[in-house]
Structure 1
Amino acid sequence: MSSTFRKYKLFVPEYADVDYNSASEIIIDYASKRNSFGVSALAVHGLIESLVNVELRDVINKIDLIVPDGQPVRWALNSFYKLGMKERVYGPELTLWVLKKANIEGLSVYLYGSTEDTLTKLNAFIQEEFPNVVICGMHIDRFRDASDEEDKEDIEKINESKANIVLVGRGCPRQEFWVADHKGKVNAVMMAVGAAFDFHAGTLKQAPNWMQGMGLEWLYRLFQEPKRLWKRYLLTNSMFIYYYLKFKLLKKDPSL
């Protein structure tokens, strides 16, 4: 199985032209060898974060495999590059594809981020659905940056656990910073998958399939958490439309 894939720049991030099967095969290939490899499922919010956050812009493409999590991202990539992507690569769904293949291989998974309650429920979900996957460690998020000493301890714990895959659920962009910063330090595939933790733990409901297919998942999430998310979606969706139209109408290469 080849682990090569093509990347296409959309404003800042370099997205991989992959589907669920090819992305999960690439991840399992690196995971089985315990190679340090970064993955992010990046939707519109993360894409716009990489535009407005200079620090994130500088490191986002250190992540090896960035998949088009959102339907608007997929539509834009198809529009600019004529890729013919038939589906987005949604982080929570990609997580299931990876866990299914990890279950066949008997790989070890480390859970990094989120709350104790969510991690406990996610652990139970994985053990029930994928019994051959070994949960080799769990780390509750500090919800702040780790000190140098704490970070060193975290890296040692993960590497000593012999994890093949580290699922990272810290929210965007904190999880992307973490994955980018730990390339070459953590001997595993690190997957920034955010809401996958809450969805598979059962602490947050996913949007219906018809809303996901129409690119309206953001609206469902907005109804769930209006106080926290209204500003994010108002700004990021508007900025995405602006940049898309700017580059499309001017017939420019969609990269900054």
Structure 2
Amino acid sequence: MSVPFDTVSILDVPFIKTTNADFVQQLQQDIMSHKNRFVITANPEILMYAREHPDYQQVIAQADYVTPDGIGVIQGAQILGTPLPERITGYDTLTALLTWGSQHHQRLFLLGAKPAVLEQVVANIQRDYPGVVIAGSHDGYYDDEAAIVDQIVAAKPDMIFVATGFPKQEFFIAKYRQRFDALWMGVGGSFDVVAGAVKRAPMFWQNHHIEWLYRLIKEPSRFKRMLVLPRYLRLVKKIARQERQ
């Protein structure tokens, strides 16, 4: 397909160069036209993982839209001299689509999270977005992928949100998206936030681009994962220097 947005390449991943508002509007058009779309919201951790796992890099290349989810991606684009307008996070995109979906009675399929968390996600969506139809859901613990895909197809959803974490969710979508024309999007830990199990950083932290620090304080176990950020920035700076030579 011809992508309606220009892209900026960071570590061989093409990020769409647009705003949250324009991106959500494009997705709404795609959904209303029953187009098959695959969205990946990528952060530096995903970029570094893709660099070390060519099979995952290939999956990313199949996505219709890759968005800059993470201030590190915005910083990387800046360092390379190809700035991106703003972060487009999975959670913000999800909630924007739920708001719109409620107004247009869109059908959802939700896949992922622990059973109790998913139950709360369903309850909270029904409460906060009453016009949305939850056509089907399944927690992230399953052995039979084929049975899950059959459930998705039978549910005839307009939007399929997969919250099984990367790289699992992207491999799943890439493998099965052609079974049904809809929006397929990996949303990582967003179900935990929708359920209220994990608190999103307050606006002060978001506006000052230190959401990562808030999450680190709340979840010290993330420290090892955070170490990927300085490695990523060093690599991007090295590439930028090579390009200038």
Normalising by the residue count of structure 2, what TM-score does the alignment of the two structures yield?
Answer: 0.91
Equivalent runs, 1:84-233 vs 2, <5 Å: 85=85, 87-142=86-141, 146=143, 150-227=144-221, 229-233=222-226
Over 3 Å counting, the alpha-carbon distance change for 1:248 and 1:109 in structure 2 is: same
Aligned counterparts of 1:123 and 1:231: Cα–Cα separation in 2: 32
The Cα RMSD (Å) is 2.1
Please say if residues 69 and 88 of structure 1, whose CA atoms lie closer than 8 Å, have aligned partners that are also in contact: yes
Please say if residues 3 and 26 of structure 1, whose CA atoms lie closer than 8 Å, have aligned partners that are also in contact: no
Aligned counterparts of 1:18 and 1:119: Cα–Cα separation in 2: 31
SS at match of 2:231: helix
Q: Which stretch has the larger CA shift, 26-35 or 118-127?
A: 26-35
Please say if residues 167 and 190 of structure 1, whose CA atoms lie closer than 8 Å, have aligned partners that are also in contact: yes
Aligned-residue offset at 1:210: 2.5
- Could you list the runs of 5+ residues in structure 2 that have no partner in the other structure? none
Q: Which stretch has the larger CA shift, 94-103 or 213-222?
A: 213-222
Aligned counterparts of 2:206 and 2:158: Cα–Cα separation in 1: 30
- Could you list the runs of 5+ residues in structure 1 that have no partner in the other structure? none
Q: Which amino acid aligns with 1:17?
A: K
Counting aligned pairs with the same residue, the percent is: 25
Q: Which amino acid aligns with 2:98?
A: L
Over 3 Å counting, the alpha-carbon distance change for 1:3 and 1:98 in structure 2 is: farther
* Deviation digits for residues 182-235 of structure 1 (CA, Å, limit 9, x no counterpart): 2312322111111211111100011222322333222222222223x221111x
Aligned equivalent of 2:231: 239
* Deviation digits for residues 93-127 of structure 1 (CA, Å, limit 9, x no counterpart): 11111111112221101101111111111112211
SS at match of 1:125: helix
Please say if residues 107 and 135 of structure 2, whose CA atoms lie closer than 8 Å, have aligned partners that are also in contact: yes
Could you list the structure 1 runs, at least 4 aligned residues long, displaced by more than 6 angstroms after superposition. none
Q: Is residue 250 from structure 1 mapped to residue 242 from structure 2 by the alignment?
A: yes
Normalising by the residue count of structure 1, what TM-score does the alignment of the two structures yield?
Answer: 0.87
Aligned counterparts of 1:53 and 1:225: Cα–Cα separation in 2: 27
SS at match of 2:184: strand
Aligned counterparts of 1:68 and 1:80: Cα–Cα separation in 2: 14
Q: Which amino acid aligns with 1:193?
A: V
Please say if residues 3 and 29 of structure 1, whose CA atoms lie closer than 8 Å, have aligned partners that are also in contact: no
Aligned counterparts of 1:90 and 1:252: Cα–Cα separation in 2: 30
